[in-house]
Amino acid sequence: MTGSKLNNGTSLAICLARIILPKNMRLALYLVIVAFLSGCATTHDPINRLVANLSASQGQWQKGDSPQLDLPEDATPEQVIKKVFLMTSFDQGHVKNCIILKMQRVHIENSLAEFFTAALVQTDFGEKIVVFQYLPVVGWWSRVFEVNTNG
């Protein structure tokens, strides 16, 4: 395994798997290892961690009210987020300043919609994640989540 970027323990495990396991079991083991390592790699990202938690909630996260944003379908994400914070009150009050740190399209399992936009936002009250989407009958739908710093 010349030129491999794997550590010696991982290289040894792969070599042993090639010797000991039948070909079809090697493929299954490889897929399990890749899935495990992929999961480990994404849990440090606050948006990916939130998406995993929401996916595990069986859609319960969607229940409850969403602020009426009264924005057109072609509103920019920045306009949507600004309006969300204008319409959402926290224990400390309303967010006055926010900076979008990261934004991505996400798929949350067991949700009514296929895709949402999730934005990691630095606010007056710390980091928040805003999940939002335009729904033709409803308009802009959103939820704001605290960033979980554990994990």
pLDDT in tens, 1-57: 444 444 445 555 565 566 776 766 656 555 555 555 555 544 589 999 999 999 999
Residue 151 lies in a domain: no
114 and 65 fall within a common domain: yes
What is the distance in angstroms between the CA of the first residue and the CA of the last residue of the chain? Answer: 33
Quick one: 131 and 69 in the same domain? yes
What pLDDT is stored for residue 64 in this prediction? 85
Q: Which domain covers residue 33, as residue numbers? A: 8-42
User: pLDDT averaged over the chain?
Assistant: 82
Question: What span, in angstroms and rounded, lies between the C-alpha atoms of 149 and 151?
Answer: 6
Please state the length of the chain: 151
Instruction: Kindly state the tokens that stand for 131.
Output: 């999940």
Percent of the chain having pLDDT more than 70? 72
Same domain, yes or no: 27 and 53: no
Determine the Cα–Cα distance for residues 92 and 133; give it in Å rounded to an integer. Answer: 26
- Same domain assignment for residues 106 and 82: yes
Dump pLDDT digits (tens) for 94-111. 999 999 999 999 999 988
Rounded to 10 degrees, the C-alpha dihedral 45/50/51/55 comes to 140
pLDDT (mean) for 139-145? 95
Residue 32 and residue 50 share a domain: no
36 and 51 inside one domain: no
